[in-house]
A and B are shown apart, each in its own frame.
Chain A
Amino acid sequence: MNDRILVWDLPLRIFHWVLAASFAGAFLTAESERQRDLHLLLGYTFAGAIAFRLLWGLVGTQHARFSSLRFGPAAIARYLRSLLAGRPERHVGHGPIAVLMIPLLLGLGLVVAGSGWATYAEFGGEWMEEVHEIAAVAMLVAVVAHVLGVIAVSLLQRENLVLPLLSGRKAGAPGSGIRTSRPLVALLLVAALAALWLPGLAARERRLAARGTTAAVAVEVGGERANHGD
């Protein structure tokens, strides 16, 4: 009965890792003005990823849709009991805990991105920066909970839940999967990322080169002087 079926479409997988990478990158570039331009690029990427996810929750494939997250408190409790009892309920798409985790992560992400943009635009003053930092730390806590939860459930269910976020495939009943990976939408997503990052990185290179050239010219002038000395 259990075949490898397609569950997560390609745009959803790209979204997940782009969100994770941009969040991690933004944390790493937060403390120095030297990386302020990268921090901004990562922030726009992060905001764009969330915007895409909200849209994809409405028009994406079956398991990407928010309408698949129909779990009430009773379903969550039943699922947790089944995990603890060692007889885990299996869900092809998102499990019941996703009802809590997805809105939490996306909601905090919206606050982080919005307050970050407002801080840079000097909208709302210094308290906006506090909101940005507090929301980012809160999201980091939620991300850690998310990762620990995935590890715990993977162990309890004896099923690697991370791998399907790369391959798109999970064990499941035939017919409960999706038919297409939506490669065209994935292509559009990659194109949008390239349109943001290629000019962004080129501008960064130009600025670094402009500073490097000034230094190189100074060295050259010094070298000429040394030659005259000979």
Chain B
Amino acid sequence: MRVAIPIAAALALGAITARAERPADFEARFAAEARTADPAFAGFSAERGRAFFTNAHGGDWSCASCHRNDPSVVGEHIVTGKRIEPLAPSANAARFTRPASVAKWFQRNCNDVLQRACTAQEKGDVLAWLMTLPAKETR
């Protein structure tokens, strides 16, 4: 433990001080991953992303269960009722700027909705859709 704590602290510090990125950086990374997974990768589709986001995948939840069908507005946690800030980058500049945060939430939420990890194609499709959403008045 004497060794583990400084290492963990250093990792945490690294995550905190990491350069802020833009949504397009994540899209490029997902595209590279998708191409590696499937050489026939033909780009992302906002429409496919919207369908993926709003449909339940055989379970009881979809992404929209908490983030709403229009994630450019404030959402609400389906279990705790807690406010969830908009997911669309146009409505919330903090979204898709920190790799650790993006990785963490895709992992958690994909497990809850799909009972598996999302593929790079799926993440890219969703992000492509989110990036097309215009900003709205948010409370």
Contact = CB atoms under 8 A, between A and B. Distances in A.
> A and B, one complex?
yes
Interface of A: 31-37, 40, 120, 126-127, 130-131, 134, 137-138, 141-142, 145, 207, 211, 215
Contacts of A33: 66, 77-79, 108-109, 112
Contacts of B15: 126-127, 130
Contacts of B1: 138, 141-142, 145
Interface in B103-122: 108-109, 111-112
B138 interface: no
Contact of B79 (A37, A127, A137): A37
27 contacts: A31-B108, A31-B111, A32-B111, A33-B66, A33-B77, A33-B79, A33-B112, A34-B112, A35-B79, A36-B77, A36-B79, A36-B80, A37-B79, A120-B82, A126-B15, A126-B100, A126-B101, A130-B15, A130-B16, A134-B5, A134-B9, A138-B4, A141-B4, A142-B1, A207-B79, A211-B60, A215-B60
B32 interface: no
A36 B16 CA distance: 24
A177 to B, nearest CB: 35
Contacts of A141: 1, 4
B111 A134 contact: no
Nearest to B81: A207
Interface residues of B, number: 22
Contacts of A34: 79, 112
Pairs of residues from A and B, 6 with the lowest C-beta to C-beta distance, nearest first? A130-B12, A134-B8, A127-B16, A141-B1, A33-B112, A36-B79
Nearest to A33: B112
A226 to B, nearest CB: 23
B22 interface: no
B8 to A, nearest CB: 5
A137 B112 contact: no
Nearest to A126: B101
Contacts of B78: 33
B39 to A, nearest CB: 33
Contacts of A138: 1, 4-5, 8
